[in-house]
Chains A and B, each alone.
Chain A
Amino acid sequence: MKLLIKGGHVVDPKNNIDEVCDVFIDKGIICDVGNDIELDDIESVEVIDATGKYVTPGLVDMHVHLRDPGFTYKEDIESGTKAAALGGVTSVACMPNTNPVCDNVTVVEYIKSKAKQVAAVNVYPIAAITKGLQSEELAPIGSFKFAGVVAISDDGKPVKSAGLMRRALEYADMFDVTVISHCEEMSIAEGYMNEGAVATELGLKGISNCAEEIMVNREINLAENTGTAVHIAHISTKGSVEAIRQAKQRGVRVTCETCPHYFTLTEEAVRGYNTNAKMNPPLRTDEDVKAIIEGLVDGTIDAIATDHAPHHLDEKNCEFDIALNGIIGLETSLGLSVKYLVNENMLSMSDLIRKMSLNPSNILGLSKGSLSVGASADVIIFDAQKEYTVDVTKFASKSKNSPYDGFVLCAKPEYTIVNGEIKVNRGELV
């Protein structure tokens, strides 16, 4: 199918494009980006008028839980990727804490083959660092590389032993596999929300900032000492931003991501024992939110990912302390980021797209995140100003655990194009 996207504001940070022009797609590939593209055989071309809208590379979400295999009552590859498409996410990297755990090539193959059959967007498996996420023995990292795994992570848990993490970093570096660390020192993480005045008032045990920061510092030390690369998942505290900023200045090969909830919500959202404000790491304070935004602005934070973590209603509609951690994010990440970062003049649209598309693609070693001629045609079209009200009942995700229900956001993708195919048309799944 031939597609011509006309008159949109094209933002492609990789190619320094930030202007009104056209994009021509044929056979699933970007064929031309330029002014007034003229085509001979115009009848066979589907033309999308993008006047007044942004046209950008599709988003790459490097931190998603698709829950498949094993927890498909929460989400599966089909529903999760439909949610991604509606959110403008054309590539997802899915975390291995499934059942069985993605710690072997068989599960990797299952995810890839199911994705081929049912996925609405590109799916890239992340496999475990350690067998069974148990922090005891390394999983077959070299074999993962050849099975198509884009990164390894024990996400949801830290690699408890510094010695084992060091070996993982060294071994993975040899195969050029990205290592993603969930930073949490468990011995001081026993709690249900951020430690501080709100937790004290609510009588909820608090999780110290240190639980995250001690581990961020450990990973930096290990990466620096061994000369390897490490990616830090979902940073939430001022201390983490500062540690990573300094490490980058020293030339340590460290990258990191944050999530929209860490720059749009604080621990105040927990009041009323709102289990949809319960996640790990927990929502922090105003000061942390400011530091996260500063980190995004000055480039310390490379990527915005969702940590899309679907849970069934019964797993959230219960006592706060037994409610499961996590929120869904695929269908709100662009809206939150545009509203709170771009429309608040914190980031340019180009910088935002860099953090939501090009950078995560680079960190995972993918060739996504650009509108380069010859690149696969993953493109989204959205209006950065047009407002809409979030309604979780309309989400494609099987789970509805979002704290943003009823929020007024903007930039809902009107078109999501994956490998040249229109997956979302006028805001609706095709």
Chain B
Amino acid sequence: MKKDLLGLQYLPADEIMTILKNAVKMKEIVLSDKKKINTLEGKTVVTLFYENSTRTRMSFELAADYMGAHAANITASGSSVAKGESLIDTAKTIDAMGTDILIMRHGSSGAPHLIAPLVKASVINAGDGLHEHPTQALLDLYTILEKKGRIEGLKVAIVGDVYHSRVARSNIFALKKLGADVSVGGPSTLLPRGLENTGAKVFKSVQEAMIDADVVMGLRIQLERQKSGLFPSLGEYNRFFGIDDKRMCFAKDDAIVLHPGPVNRGVEFSSELVDGASSCINEQVTNGVAVRMSVMEWLRG
């Protein structure tokens, strides 16, 4: 039994594959009429979110529910967090209530790494700062595997605000480990220094990054980044870095399009692309529930 899932950087490839393979049967459950298994019966799953989230938290909570667990949630504003309690104290309190799985999202990189050794519960990182978002990357990998049948040898282009993206980091770590060729493209102000050390190839034009790609993964642009002077306007971002059907011509004909959501239509992706045949964005959401069920089984089943 594993204790925690904090990130994909140090998770061996065979463990990643175990989680992905097991997600196949979980997806059948998610798509069935009777969404109920008893793998986590009697267990308590708590989501502790210090940042707003709709889809990730709901995805985890549904996953826990389908598996028969008790699910409770705590958000930063409606709790002792607002009274100034430290993260460590909050986590220890939740742990002391008999929590089996603690799902954490926090704005500080490394926050779940701080907590994991201090609690009995399994900790799942649901996003820490700019660092990792392992379950998002796992659902991306699952989607790629489902559509392409393999990961090894595929060319994956990750496009957009890589600097602020924990989704990008988790994906790069895992894709490289599984033998994919990863290209990264975006405005130079949003590409972090030393990114090449991860094994990703770094391009300052999205077209170059997308050449012959099997998978094009867009990243969400946070609207407030413009105010910090990282790019002049959303319009200019879209003009040079946004992806539409025309720019998709650089990728392979059968390339698929992924996005962690929520999408800013007309900024990082055109609406036509989001709703088009190559888009797997809605399926990613379904797969997210399946993969999170698989992760919880892997930890506590």
A residues whose Cβ falls under 8 Å from a Cβ of B: 195-206, 272-273, 314, 317-322
Contacts and interface: CB of A to CB of B under 8 A. Distances in A.
A321 B111 CA distance: 9
B192 A206 contact: yes
B113 A206 contact: no
A16 B113 CA distance: 53
A203 B196 CA distance: 14
Contacts of A273: 109-110, 113-114
Interface stretch (B123-131, B149-157, B278-286): B123-131
Give the top 5 A-B pairs by smallest Cβ distance, nearest first.
Answer: A197-B194, A203-B131, A273-B110, A319-B108, A203-B130
Contacts of A319: 87, 106, 108, 110-111, 114
Contact of A204 (B113, B130, B198): B130
Given A199-B192, A319-B106, 17 more contacts: A196-B194, A197-B193, A197-B195, A197-B197, A199-B194, A200-B197, A200-B198, A201-B9, A201-B194, A203-B109, A203-B110, A203-B166, A204-B129, A319-B108, A319-B114, A320-B110, A322-B108
A198 to B, nearest CB: 7
B188 to A, nearest CB: 14
B249 interface: no
A75 to B, nearest CB: 22
B110 A195 contact: no
The listed residue with most A CB atoms (<10 A of its CB), out of B108, B128, B131, B195, is B108
A321 B109 contact: yes
Interface string B197-224: 1100000000000000000000000000
B177 interface: no
Contacts of B166: 203
Contacts, number: 69
13 contacts: A197-B195, A199-B192, A200-B198, A201-B169, A202-B110, A203-B166, A204-B109, A272-B113, A273-B109, A273-B110, A319-B87, A320-B108, A322-B108
Contacts of A198: 194
A314 B108 CA distance: 16
B77 interface: no
A203 B129 CA distance: 7
A200 B193 contact: yes
A203 B197 contact: no
Interface in B101-122: 106, 108-111, 113-114
Given A195-B193, A318-B114, A201 B130 contact: no
Contacts of B196: 197
A205 B166 CA distance: 12
B4 to A, nearest CB: 14
B65 interface: no
Contact of A318 (B86, B128, B198): B86
A197 B9 CA distance: 14
Interface string B129-143: 111100000000000
Contacts of B193: 195-197, 199-200, 206
A322 B192 CA distance: 21
Contacts of B108: 319-322
Contact of B87 (A203, A204, A205, A318): A318
B88 interface: yes
A314 B110 CA distance: 17
B194 A203 contact: no
A200 B192 CA distance: 6
A200 B195 contact: yes
Nearest to B196: A197
Nearest to A273: B110
Contacts of B131: 202-204
Contact of A317 (B88, B109, B111, B128): B88
A161 B26 CA distance: 61
Contact of B132 (A196, A203, A322): A203
Contacts of A203: 109-110, 128-132, 166, 169
Contacts of A322: 108
Nearest to B132: A203
B299 to A, nearest CB: 21
A196 B197 CA distance: 10
Interface string B214-246: 000000000000000000000000000000000
A239 to B, nearest CB: 15
B279 to A, nearest CB: 28
A272 B113 CA distance: 8
A321 B192 contact: no
The listed residue with most B CB atoms (<10 A of its CB), out of A195, A200, A202, is A200
A381 to B, nearest CB: 42
Contacts of A195: 193
Contacts of A321: 108-109, 129
Nearest to A321: B108
Nearest to B7: A203
Given A195-B193, A197-B194, A273-B114, A202 B86 contact: no
A203 B166 CA distance: 7
Contacts of B169: 200-201, 203
A357 to B, nearest CB: 39
Contacts of A206: 192-193
Contacts of A196: 193-194
A48 B264 CA distance: 77
A195 B9 CA distance: 20
A195 B193 CA distance: 7
B271 to A, nearest CB: 31
A320 B194 contact: no
A202 B193 CA distance: 12
A205 B198 contact: no
A272 B116 CA distance: 12
Contacts of B111: 319
B272 to A, nearest CB: 33
A199 B86 CA distance: 24
The listed residue with most B CB atoms (<10 A of its CB), out of A199, A273, A314, is A273
A278 to B, nearest CB: 11
Contacts of B129: 203-204, 321
Interface string B62-103: 000000000000000000000000111000000000000000
B10 to A, nearest CB: 11
